[in-house]
């Protein structure tokens, strides 16, 4: 049974419309290019309340987009070698090494983020927030799913909660190499530009149950994209429980779905959500700009 969320706040300066019972809210009546501190304070509280928030019709210059991101904290700068690790086409937005551009071409078969995950969770201090800006959208498809990991943890039995709260798990981006190897076994011509020998992998162990630094609520913190096994256990020993958790975390009653338009913006809390970029728009283009806000080591 899904436990109720904490009491949500009333807002004086925002119109906040929940999009699903589990998480997510659309914010209207706000121009992100002209925020004052009082409005931003309410936006920040709306994220803590709803885990992910959405804005539409926001026409921002790159400078204005970055300024909005910087209100949340220091933005993560992206090293060039990151672009050899991810699927799809990625680059900096010109002149901004803390704003990434993801462009899926008409002939691309893979997309970025096409499995449930929290952004950069394999790093030592994964980002607090991700801010994604829809710049060029397909006529249909390309939605993003979000899942409330407070709710997925709270729905577990007391015995499972107690056991998982004592465990840690490995998060690593080596899974990208393994996935591309499998692609090449099926198709020798897959990803001819990808050379795993030219990069190193990043691996960290994080708690399976994470405590949010601000809300103090507990959430599950493993993912189908990055988590390989539990600490002090083999992959084989870990497999069944991880597969159960991966399926449990994505139960429909924990999720919401966002239909993108051009100039839409989503902001989500990586500490208590997972997301999934749907890859259902082959033959169409999609361009997104992304910022991530520096975070803390999970505890």
Q: For position 278, which CATH number holds?
A: 3.60.130.10
Predicted pLDDT of residue 199 = 57
* Catalytic one of 50, 87, 117, 289: 117
Q: Is there a domain that residue 153 lies in?
A: yes
Q: Is there a domain that residue 299 lies in?
A: no
Between residues 185 and 147, the one the model is more confident about: 147
CA distance 113 to 166: 29
Question: Long-range contacts of range 194-202, CB-CB < 8 Å, 24 or more positions apart?
Answer: 194/84, 195/84, 198/84, 199/81, 199/84, 199/85, 201/172, 201/173, 201/174, 201/177, 202/122, 202/123, 202/172, 202/173
Q: Is there a domain that residue 235 lies in?
A: yes
Predicted pLDDT of residue 2 = 46
Burial group, residue 185, by CB count within 10 angstroms (0-12, 13-18, 19+): exposed
Q: Give the pairing of strands 25-28 and 52-55.
A: parallel
Averaged pLDDT for residues 218-233: 96
Q: Is there a domain that residue 7 lies in?
A: no
- Residue 7 pLDDT > 80, yes or no? no
235 carries an active-site annotation: no
What tokens appear for 282 in the block? Answer: 């082959």
pLDDT in tens, 50-81: 999 999 999 999 999 999 999 999 999 876 55
pLDDT in tens, 258-289: 999 999 999 999 999 999 999 999 999 999 99
119 carries an active-site annotation: yes
* Catalytic one of 87, 275, 286, 289: 275
Q: Say how many domains are in the chain.
A: 1
259 carries an active-site annotation: no
Question: Token match 């699903």: residue?
Answer: 20
| Structural domain span for residue 287 | 15-292
Q: Is there a domain that residue 128 lies in?
A: yes
CA distance 193 to 178: 16
Residue 253: CA atoms inside 13 Å, Cβ hemisphere, count? 11
117 carries an active-site annotation: yes
Q: Is there a domain that residue 154 lies in?
A: yes
Using left for φ > 0, alpha for ψ between -120 and 50, and beta otherwise, residue 253 falls in: alpha
pTM: 0.89
Q: Across the strands, what pairs with 130?
A: 268, 292
* Catalytic one of 49, 98, 119, 269: 119
């Amino acid at each position: 049974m899904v436990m109720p969320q904490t009491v949500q706040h009333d807002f004086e300066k925002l119109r906040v419309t929940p999009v699903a019972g589990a998480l997510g809210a659309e914010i209207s009546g706000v121009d992100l290019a002209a925020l004052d501190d009082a409005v931003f304070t309410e936006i920040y509280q709306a994220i803590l309340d709803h885990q992910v928030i959405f804005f539409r019709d926001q026409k921002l210059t790159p400078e204005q987009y970055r300024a909005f991101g910087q209100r949340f904290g220091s933005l993560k700068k992206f090293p060039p070698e990151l672009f050899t690790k991810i699927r799809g086409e990625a680059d900096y937005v010109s002149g901004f090494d803390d704003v990434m551009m993801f462009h899926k071409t008409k002939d691309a078969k893979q997309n970025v983020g096409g499995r449930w995950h929290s952004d950069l969770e394999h790093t030592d201090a994964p980002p607090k927030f991700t801010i994604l800006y829809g710049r060029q959208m397909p006529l249909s498809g390309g939605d993003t799913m979000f899942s409330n990991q407070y709710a997925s943890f709270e729905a577990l039995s007391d015995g499972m909660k107690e056991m998982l709260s004592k465990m840690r798990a490995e998060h690593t981006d080596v899974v990208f190499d393994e996935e591309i190897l499998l692609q090449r076994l099926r198709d020798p011509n897959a990803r001819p530009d990808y050379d795993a020998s030219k990069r190193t992998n990043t691996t960290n162990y994080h708690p399976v149950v994470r405590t949010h630094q601000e809300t103090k609520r507990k959430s599950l913190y493993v993912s189908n994209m990055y988590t390989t096994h539990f600490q002090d256990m083999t992959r084989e020993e870990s497999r069944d429980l991880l597969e159960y958790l991966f399926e449990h975390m994505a139960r429909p009653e924990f999720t919401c779905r966002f239909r993108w338009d051009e100039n839409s913006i989503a902001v989500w809390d990586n500490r208590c959500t997972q997301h999934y970029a749907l890859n259902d728009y082959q033959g169409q283009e999609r361009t997104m700009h992304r910022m991530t806000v520096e975070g803390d080591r999970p505890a």
